[in-house]
Structure 1
C-alpha cells in the first residue's frame, strides 16, 4: 500500500512520550471517508521525504508500519576484527543479517582476511569486496534484496532440508561415505538461504506473517536443524562400522517427524500441530529409554536425532505465534 505525501508533514501535534521513537498524532478527517495523520518532521528529514513522495504503509497486528519504498535504512558500519578468532566471522555475518549495506572491515593478517572472504562467499548473498588495502576491506551490497521473493526463499530452505533428510537416510542405509560428505556440503546452501531470509526480515519486514521476531526465530531454528543433520552425517562418516538397523530406523522416524513439521508450517491447523507434538513426545520417551541398550557407536548419532526432534517440538510456540 503506497501513499503520496502532501504538505501536511509537520510537527504541530508532536508530543514525544519517550526520548526516542514513541509519538502521538491527532487524526484529521478530510472529506467523508479519508482520515490522515502527519509524519514526524524529524523522521521526514532523516529520510529526505518531500511533498509528493510516496511512503509504504504496512498493516500489522500490533499497528501500522510506515517506511520508504527503499526499505529500512541502515548506516555504514565499521567492524574491527583485529586479534579476534572464532567471533570474527560471526560478527561480520551478524551485520549482514541485520541489514547493513556497507561495511568497513579492519584486519591485521591473512588468516583474518581469509575467514571473512570465506564468509562472504558462502553465507552472504549480494555482498562483494569493492576495495582493499593492507589492513582494511570495503564491502558493499551490489545486488538488491527482493522482499517479494521471501516466500520462495523460505520454501527453498525447507526444500534443501527435505533433500538432506532423504539423502542422509539413503547414505546411512548403504553406509556411503561419499554421500555423507555431499550432505555435509549441502548445509552451506541452507546457511546461505537462512542468512538471506533473516536479512530480508530485518531490512523490510514481512506483512504476510503475524510477527517478524517469530519469523526470524523460525528461520534461525531451521538453520540449526540443518546443523544437526550436518553433525549426524559427520558422526556416521567417522564410524568404523555401518549404522545398525535400529539407528537407521530412528533416523527414518526423525525424518517423518520433520515432514509432519513441514506440513504444519505450510498447512497449519491446531489438530496437525497437536499430532506433531504427540509424535515428538512419543519418539523422545521411547528413544531416551532405549539409550542404555544401544551399541557405543550409536549413542552420539542417536543423541543428535533426539536433539533434532526436541528442537522441532520446541518450535510449537513459534508456529502458534505465527498463526495467532
Structure 2
C-alpha cells in the first residue's frame, strides 16, 4: 500500500515538492523488519504532525523514479593520479547527455551531488519598495527573503531616509551571517552574500551554537552565586550571535533541500537548532532576572540555585558530547537523567515558595530562574532524542513502530 505524503512535507518545510518527485512510503501492517539503512525515524516525526496510522511499521521508502535508488560503483584509477566513477546509463540518457558535456559536482563534507548544467541554480534576487512601509515590516521582509535563500535583496525608494539606512545595516549586523551592503545610492540599498556559504556548513553552524550555549552555562552558575551583573550583561550580549546562527541554519536548510533527498536530516537539524536557540533564550532570561533583582538574594539560597544550575550545565555538556561523538547510549542516559532532575527542580520550587522569609518579589525571581533552569534540561533531553534520530543507522537491527 502506498501513501503520498508530499502534502505533509510541504507545509513543514515551507515549499512544495515537485509532483514528479513525490515521496512515497509503503506501510506493512504488523510486520516489523530490520532497519534497512534509511532514516525511518523521520516519519515518526511526521506521524506526530498528522500522519495518522496506528500500529504500522515503515519498511520501505521510494523517491520518484530514481531518487533514493542506491547504485554501487567501483572506483577506477587511471594515469596514476586520476580516479574515475561511471555514471548510471539511465540517468545519462534521461538528461540527454553525451561525451564532452559538462556536469556539476557539488562537494559536501561527506557526499557529492551530481547535477547537469541545466540544474545550476540561478541567483535569486528580490526587490522591496519601502514607500509608506513601516520599518518593522521592512525588517521582516528582508529577513524573510534571507531565510528563503535569496542571494540579493534590493531596498528601493525615491529617496531612502537615513533612518531606513541605519535600520537595514543594523538588521544585517545582528541577524544575517555573510550578508553585507554591496551597493548603495540615494534610491537603493543592495544587500547580498559576499562569502562562500559552504565554508560554514550546517554541521559547523550547529557546533558553534552548542559551544556558545556551553560557554554561557559555564559562567551562569557563578552569575547567580556572586550576583555578577557584569557577566550577566555579557550573556545578554551573546544572544545576538545565537540568533544569527539559528537564522543562518534555517536559510541553509531551505537552500539545501532542493538538492538533497535526505530531507529527514534537514528537518531534524532545523529542530535541533531551534532547541539550542531556546536554551540560550532561557540562559538570557536568567541573566536578565539577576540584573532586575533589587538586592542580592540570601547567600544560602543563591548557593542552592548555583548547585541546581550546575546540574543543568552538566546535562547540557553531556548532550553536546553525545552530539559530537554520535553517542546514542549517552543521549539516552541524558534523557533518563533529565526526568529525575526535573523532579528536583519542582521540589526546590515548592520548598522555596513556603519560605516565609522571602518577599513576593524574591519568590517571583527565584521561580523564573528555576523554571528556566528546568527548561534548559528539558530542551537538552529533546536534543538527545534528535541525536538518536540522526544516528539511528548506527543501530545494527531495529524497526520503527509508530504509536500514538
**Higher relative contact order (CA closer than 8 Å, sequence separation 6+):** 2
Corresponding residue pairs, total: 298
Displacement after TM superposition at 1:269 (Å): 2.5
Confirm or deny: 8 A CA contact 1:71 1:204 kept in the other structure. no
Alignment partner of 2:269 out of 215, 219, 223: 215
**Residue 191 of structure 1 aligns with which residue?**
243
SS at match of 2:91: coil
- Alignment correspondent of 2:7: none
State whether residues 153 and 191 of structure 2, in contact with CA within 8 Å, keep that contact through their aligned partners in structure 1.
Answer: yes
**Cα gap change, 1:80 to 1:65, in 2 (>3 Å):** farther
Question: Normalized against structure 1, the TM-score is what?
Answer: 0.72
Instruction: Say whether residues 1:269 and 2:334 are aligned partners.
Output: no
The separation in 1 between residues aligned to 2:121 and 2:388, in whole angstroms, is: 27
Q: Is the alpha carbon distance of 1:120 and 1:323 closer, same or farther for their aligned partners in structure 2, counting shifts above 3 Å?
A: same
Shift of 1:222: 1.2
Gaps of 5+ in 1: 1-16
Give SS of 1:132's match. Answer: strand
Match of 1:322 in 2: 390
Contact 1:97 1:195 in 2 (8 A): yes
Aligned 1:1-324 pairs, distance under 5 A: 19=19, 21-22=21-22, 23-25=64-66, 35-38=88-91, 51-56=101-106, 75-80=124-129, 82-106=132-156, 109-146=161-198, 149-204=201-256, 211-244=265-298, 245-267=300-322, 268-270=327-329, 271-290=332-351, 292-293=353-354, 295=359, 296-300=361-365, 302-310=367-375, 312-314=377-379, 315-316=382-383, 317-324=385-392
Contact 1:250 1:302 in 2 (8 A): no
Cα gap change, 1:37 to 1:279, in 2 (>3 Å): farther
- Give the secondary-structure state (helix, strand or coil) at the position aligned to 2:180: strand
| Residues 301/321 of structure 1: CA separation in 2 closer, same or farther (3 Å cut) | farther
Distance between the aligned counterparts of 1:123 and 1:141, measured in 2? 13
- Displacement, 1:175? 2.0
Match of 2:197, SS state, is coil
Deviations along 1:122-147, one digit per CA (max 9) or x if unpaired, are: 23221111222445321011111125
**TM-score between the two structures when normalised by the length of structure 2:** 0.60
The alpha-carbon distance between structure 1 residues 323 and 282, as it changes in their structure 2 partners (threshold 3 A), is farther
Tell whether the 8 Å contact from 1:132 to 1:138 is kept in structure 2 after alignment: yes
Q: Is the 8 A contact 2:232 2:287 kept in 1?
A: yes
Q: Which residue of 2 aligns with 1:9?
A: none
CA distance, structure 1, for counterparts of residue 341 and residue 93 of structure 2 = 50
Greater shift after overlay, 117-126 or 245-254? 245-254
Consecutive unaligned residues of structure 2, counting only runs of 5 or more, are: 1-16, 23-63, 75-85, 393-404
